[in-house]
């Protein structure tokens, strides 16, 4: 293990950059352990390197600036509307209690819920997202159940409905879903038919369906619908969401929380 207590700041950042370029992807937790400094210090280093366009920040880590198209797509999606997504994620987490079973999909907004779940106890998280599973790997009080299926690299998600019937033994109280868009009459939509098929099945398994949507999702229509408006219990969105569209969704009985 290399400890950076004796490394100057420039040397440490050079070492971080070398490690990222060598592995292709790394996390704050891994760098903190390897270099013997705090996570706060590593985040500051990563931000400085990102501002120099040497790396691209991801949720919980970084990838090289010249990363592959799939990694770049994931990183950029997570950085869009980042502050709004953080507020939405915090509000979604407040709807969850210890001892419950929940579903989290593979959207970048849903991923912002995850950091708030690490201190929960006896929580079961069902997900088709590899990123969600990775983020929760050291959360002792959280059991993670992956849906299985074929890997979709663009979203780091598992697709396929063949094994979803096995999940019916879980009493999934709350499902939190992102979407490409929300609109009338299409409801929640996705750009991937395969992703929408998985979400549609999981929507039917959840007692409470929450849509986590930032302002950019209102009025957009994706290729495939996965939830009608009457299947949605609550939408959590940011303060920039269009008031007229919020009113339309509330008019059909969906609760909308603006954060």
Residue by residue, what is the 3-state secondary structure of 164-224? HHHHHHCCEEEEEECCCEEECCCEEEECCHHHHHHHHHHHHHCCEEEEECCHHHECCCCCE
Residues of the chain with pLDDT under 50: 1-2, 4, 69-72
pLDDT at 57: 81
Q: Please, what are the domains in the chain?
A: 9-79 (1.10.10.10), 82-258 (3.40.50.10470)
pLDDT at 153: 79
pLDDT at 79: 62
pLDDT at 4: 44
pLDDT at 51: 81
pLDDT at 99: 97
The mean predicted confidence, pLDDT, of the chain is 89
């Amino acid at each position: 293990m290399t400890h950076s207590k004796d490394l100057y700041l420039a040397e440490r950042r050079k070492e971080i950059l070398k490690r990222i370029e060598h592995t292709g992807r790394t996390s704050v937790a891994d760098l903190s352990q390897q270099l013997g400094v705090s996570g706060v210090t590593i985040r500051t280093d990563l931000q400085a390197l990102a501002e120099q366009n040497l790396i691209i920040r991801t949720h919980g880590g970084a990838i090289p600036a010249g990363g592959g198209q799939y990694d770049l797509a994931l990183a950029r999606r997570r950085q869009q509307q980042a502050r709004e997504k953080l507020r939405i994620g915090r509000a979604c987490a407040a709807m969850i209690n210890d001892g419950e079973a929940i579903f989290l999909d593979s959207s970048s907004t849903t991923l912002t819920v995850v950091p708030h779940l690490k201190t929960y106890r006896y929580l079961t998280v069902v997900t088709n997202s590899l990123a969600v599973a990775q983020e929760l790997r050291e959360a002792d009080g959280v059991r993670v159940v992956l849906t299985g299926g074929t890997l979709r690299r663009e979203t780091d998600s598992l697709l396929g409905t063949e094994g979803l019937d096995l999940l019916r033994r879980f009493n999934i109280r709350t499902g939190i879903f992102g979407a490409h868009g929300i609109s009338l009459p299409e409801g929640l939509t996705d750009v991937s038919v395969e992703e929408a098929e998985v979400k549609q099945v999981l929507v039917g398994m959840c007692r409470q369906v929450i849509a986590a949507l930032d302002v950019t999702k209102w009025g957009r229509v994706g290729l495939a619908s996965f939830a009608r408006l009457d299947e949605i219990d609550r939408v959590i969105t940011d303060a920039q969401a269009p008031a007229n569209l919020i009113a339309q969704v509330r008019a059909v009985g969906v609760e909308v929380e603006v954060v």
